[in-house]
Structure 1
Amino acid sequence: MADDDKNPAREIITGYAQSHFRYFRTADGTVYAQRNGHPVARPIRSQGTTGSHRQELMVGLFKDGVGVFNGTAMKEALDLIEALALTEDVQPVHIRVAPGYDGATWLDLGRSDGLSVRIHPTGWDIQTPDPREVCWRRTQLTGELPLPVKDTNGKGIDLLMRLCNFATAETECLAIAWLIGCLGPSVPVPAPFLTGPQGAGKSTGGRMLVRIIEGMSGDLRRAPKDEENLIAAVAAGWVTALDNLSHMTPDLSDAMCCIVTGAENVKRALFTDGDVFRVGYRRPLLLTGIDVGVIRPDLAERLLPLRLERPQVRRTEAELWSDFAEVLPVILGSLLDLTVQVRAAEADIPTDLRMADFAHLCAQLDAATGLGALAAYRASLDDLNDDVIEGDLLAQTVLKHAAGIEPGAEERMTSAEWLHCLTGLYTGEDCRPLPKGWPTTGKVLSDRLKRLQPTLAARGVLIDWGRSNAARYIEIARPAAPPPPEQEAAF
């Protein structure tokens, strides 16, 4: 046969690929390959150790007897496939959890056969999702979950609480609410902060909570030294767990706020001058530690303190994790049962809390079980406000000054006048030195007060900004006490 009558190798590869795989693109322009009938998708440019599309294409060509091709032919074929896929419809890919049709959500079990859990309004089922409904993305952080057990009658929740060392029933119900929130693809959940004395099993408890969602390969990790590495770790998995935190820098605190409520990072694409790529992320976050020092107010509103106590009886690691792995299918089944009940429950949405979606979930959990999760959540936020105030001398000074304001009255001054007033109140008659970080200008004071505004409002001190006669002012007020409820006359 003449050379002109032969099909070039790139055309053979392209024809085989298009008959065995479905190619599509995401909103950021990344092209993915999905084997026909299988929900797992791989980026065609990936060189990851979890298996790239190039590798599975080469294996398929060899096993089906098509042939073995050199790197040039494979590159040319993938270039053509990528160009053709850019004209296809846009479809998102998901890690671990995903929204589905008709109000359902999906949980990826991380199995090679693609079996997943579909959580729908009337129950949950184990099935392989339609590739056009859900596309799973797998990374090295995607562990395998066991098949959950049906009809557990809540037994798994009791087993989990026996394995963990939570100090109170309120802490237990908040941990349950967080786990349910992790199964929602679009609901931001606060970050549990497991605290307690040394030896309370904080790391072990954190691993258990993580492994319910991420499988037995899920683990805690040290906090990265910079935001870029933290974002890379967050984007590659679902639950991000940071262990043994003892100090939290302002940059790390801000990054954690973004992880909890969602943000996007834009970076220059490699080997280009003007192109960029986008990394969007919103993930469940979990922290452990005895004490992280001063907590910034914006992070405090996104934390969920879970206190643990030292166990009376110690167990070996091997025994503990063997028991946990044995009951994990029951725990997961009970969690799925409870998730269906909670989502079906009707409850009012609390409008006074920042994490309103999680507060609503707590209210639904109370409606379904009567555990008192919402009251426990409010109490935990109140404790965090105390922590913020105890760690901020400016907040303490503002509260001290506000104590002298009559209820229903307010005081207005410029930022410079407030700085002079609060500085004099702090230094006092003995002129004690100002602490490190004390505001040095009126602008710095104004910015600090904006951060403290929600914390101080929770203590009955309202701060507002305005303008009068072309001059800006800051107003500190104490609202009047509400009138006592009228009592009905007795007859």
Structure 2
Amino acid sequence: MSDPFAPIKTDQATKSNRIQPQKAIVMPVSDEAPEPPAFHPKLGVPSQCWTYRDAAGEVLGYVCRFDMDGEGKSFRPLCSFQVGEQLKWRWETWPQPRPLYGLDLLAKAPDAPIVIVEGEKAADAARQLLLKHVCISSPGGSNAAKKADWSALIGREVFIWPDADEAGLKFATDVAVCLERVGAASVTVFVPPDDVSKGWDAADALADGWSSEQAEAFALSSEVEDEAEPEAKPRARGGSLLSVAQDLELWHSPQKDAFATVLVNGHNEHWPVESQSFKRWLVGRYYEKTGLAPSTQNLSDALRVFEVRALEQGACHAPFMRTGWQDGESWFDLADENWQAIRISRNGWEVVQNPPVKFIRKQTMSPLPVPEKGYQIEEMRHLINAEEENCKLILGWMVACLWGRSRSYPVLALGGEQGSGKSTMARLLRSITDPCAVSASSLPKDERDLMVMAQNGHVLNFDNVSKMEGWLSNAICRMATGSGFISRKLHTDGDAYWFQGARPVLLNGIPALTERADLAERALSVRLKRIDEVGRQPEELFWQEWEQLKPRMLGALLDALSTAIRNIESVRLDRHPRMADFARLMVAASSGLGWEEDEFLEAYESNRRGTAEAAFEGDPIAVALHEFLMVRQGGESWVGTATELLAELNMIVSDQIRSSRFWPTKVNAFGNAVERAAPLLRQKRIQVTKKATGARRLIYLDVI
């Protein structure tokens, strides 16, 4: 059978004198893509179909299986391509390196051991058997392992479950070589039982009736056999493993997470005890001292001892990610290989080796350049295609992102028509506040995904947002103001997994993203200007210029923070908006940015009024209540139940609005909608009050 994953040869291609439209794969699949075809033009309807997703859960494509009478099975990849100006599905594979099957599961369990099998069917079966592992595969079968992208397994503990045949052994060997190149923490190959048939795999084990206990025992026995080969992996004693790490500084966070501070190349690094980074360091130290590799069991035992020591004997410190505050000084982590950080005080800022604050790192974090002194923030003004007031808001958001004392952050919502450079501007802002290997991501699927994102980055940048669901708007509001999220830890019944804190959030999209009143109150809504063909420059030149400016602009932002520390205690606001801490910070930092004291507040208040007006116009309940009280009632007060008020509004709104999904039909839903509209109506000088009088719950509408 020919390899469907192989590239099309020239002599197999269709000959044509016409110029073929340019074709490029689209990963992840765009929301505008058509529905994928339900059948193959020659092979018919697939018997099975597996969905490939990226780390954020977005669809990358599919692999379909076809069972043909008398011809066996056949596999075909199905991916989305941009062909000319159209999005089309094609029965073609991804370009190399190809994605893995199960990237989304890897991202959700960053410290779980991994099992690699041959084929998607075997991966699905292994997931039912090995509940403590993340089970994945690569596309294309046994001959295509080297064509996959294994970089997601850097620093991970990996096991390979090969098929019981020569092809399976070749697959395991190829995968092991690839994992060694990318830097997996450990690689162990399972040994199939002697009494199984040729080609036996995880799917066969599941069909044979294996339980999860049997599968775990099989995995454990393979590890033991691997350790029993003295030439391949000498066994080491756990006591020796503990003794080589006696100089560790073990400590814990207020949330009772265990950490270790280790000395690497003359600087201190801080890692969670359960992290792959700490495991790699521990194995490396042991090998340096003994020339041996510790067994998996002894490494696990030592880590449990370190965790107990950190929790019971170690000091309690607050771990910081990217920004921090300690002893009246703000800190900013450059995330470079030397673990340097910036100390910002009332007297200025400086680069510090081995900072006293405990900064932790995530694998996706990227470094920032060493900032330079003596430059003004106006040097980057020409790169921001926004009006002067909006430019001040963008710069203010950047300053807030670097402020280590922040317990809340405004949400920056970039809007504008197509061609206004929203995604580029968002990437620029992320690159100077919290650069990341993944500079932008799609919206999370649920609150747990949002929590995982917040635990792995300081700034959350969501690109090309087309709509804002109610639950997500509420979650982003809590993320902006520092509320917590809690969920059940994977593979447990009662253990908690949570996030507590605030994160700067950056949104960009063509539609208005702050139509909900609660999000509008926390947001800076900035509309970018369209860039015409005269003003547009090649993206390569744009980023070259920005990389040259970045150290200077970072220095200018740090100057503003130093000014804020010097002035903030003396700042007194006449009025306190919803994000009062942010407003106070920017008043304190204004002179450091070359602004008059009231310049930023004027821009901020103007933006809040415009955002509130847009939110009001987008809320049909608020608009209807305003019309009812000011027109039907002539500005006179009204009191009644929610049922009576809904009936009054149903009489004045159009049939189109009344039949839309935004108009509540049940009284309890209407009551909740009135509460959400209350802040918007207050801006229109209408006070909404709810009171319980005996058995009746009344709504009062008054002009103030």
TM more than 0.5: yes
Per the shorter chain, which TM-score range? 0.7 to 0.9
Deviates further, 179-188 or 357-366: 357-366
Q: Which residue of 1 aligns with 2:246?
A: 18
Give the aligned length.
457
Cα distance in 2 for partners of 1:367, 1:478 equals 40
Contact 2:273 2:306 in 1 (8 A): no
Q: Which residue of 1 aligns with 2:338?
A: 113
Deviates further, 237-246 or 78-87: 78-87
Q: Which residue of 2 aligns with 1:348?
A: 572
TM-score normalised by L of structure 2: 0.62
The amino acid of 2:365's aligned partner reads T
- Summarize the alignment of residues 158-307 of structure 1 with structure 2, pairs less than 5 Å apart: 158-166=378-386, 168-185=387-404, 186-215=406-435, 217=437, 219-292=439-512, 295-307=515-527
Cα distance in 2 for partners of 1:333, 1:181 equals 15
Q: Structure 1: any 5+ residue segments left out of the alignment?
A: 1-7, 480-491
Select which of 74, 89, 93 maps to 2:315: 89
Cα shift at 1:110:
0.4
Q: 2:369 aligned with 1:142, yes or no? A: no
Q: Which residue of 1 aligns with 2:556?
A: 334
Cα distance in 2 for partners of 1:431, 1:439 equals 13
Residues 416-470 of structure 1 deviation map (CA, whole Å, 9 limit, x = unaligned): 221122222225xx99854333232333222111111111101111111123455
Contact 2:409 2:502 in 1 (8 A): no
Select which of 370, 373, 392 maps to 2:619: 392
Cα distance in 2 for partners of 1:246, 1:422 equals 30
Cα shift at 1:354:
1.0
Cα distance in 2 for partners of 1:367, 1:328 equals 21
Contact 1:33 1:42 in 2 (8 A): yes
Select which of 637, 645, 649 maps to 1:410: 637
Select which of 661, 665, 668 maps to 1:443: 668
Cα shift at 1:57:
1.1
Residues 194-250 of structure 1 deviation map (CA, whole Å, 9 limit, x = unaligned): 111211111111111111112374612221333322221122000111111111111
Cα distance in 2 for partners of 1:400, 1:11 equals 78
Look up the SS of the partner of 1:247 in the other structure: coil
Q: 2:564 aligned with 1:358, yes or no? A: no
Cα distance in 2 for partners of 1:432, 1:387 equals 18
Contact 2:444 2:450 in 1 (8 A): yes
Evaluate the alpha carbon distance shift between residue 432 and residue 276 of structure 1 in structure 2; reply closer, same or farther with a 3 A threshold.
closer
Q: Which residue of 1 aligns with 2:41?
A: none
- Summarize the alignment of residues 319-330 of structure 1 with structure 2, pairs less than 5 Å apart: 319-330=541-552
Evaluate the alpha carbon distance shift between residue 125 and residue 293 of structure 1 in structure 2; reply closer, same or farther with a 3 A threshold.
closer
Residues 377-429 of structure 1 deviation map (CA, whole Å, 9 limit, x = unaligned): 1111111122222222211111112214566x5221122221122222225xx
Cα shift at 1:9:
2.3
Cα distance in 2 for partners of 1:433, 1:13 equals 71
Cα shift at 1:13:
1.6
Larger radius of gyration: 2
Deviates further, 142-151 or 432-441: 432-441
Residues 154-182 of structure 1 deviation map (CA, whole Å, 9 limit, x = unaligned): 1xx1222112212x111111111111111
Contact 2:390 2:527 in 1 (8 A): yes
Contact 2:419 2:530 in 1 (8 A): yes
Q: Which residue of 1 aligns with 2:649?
A: 422
Q: Which residue of 1 aligns with 2:270?
A: 41
Evaluate the alpha carbon distance shift between residue 76 and residue 203 of structure 1 in structure 2; reply closer, same or farther with a 3 A threshold.
same
Look up the SS of the partner of 2:246 in the other structure: helix
The amino acid of 1:280's aligned partner reads Q
Q: Which residue of 2 aligns with 1:5?
A: none
Look up the SS of the partner of 1:403 in the other structure: helix
Cα shift at 1:147:
0.4
TM-score normalised by L of structure 1: 0.87
Contact 2:412 2:525 in 1 (8 A): yes
Deviates further, 252-261 or 326-335: 252-261
Greater relative contact order (Cα 8 A, min sep 6): structure 1 or 2?
Answer: 1
Look up the SS of the partner of 1:18 in the other structure: coil
Cα shift at 1:17:
1.2
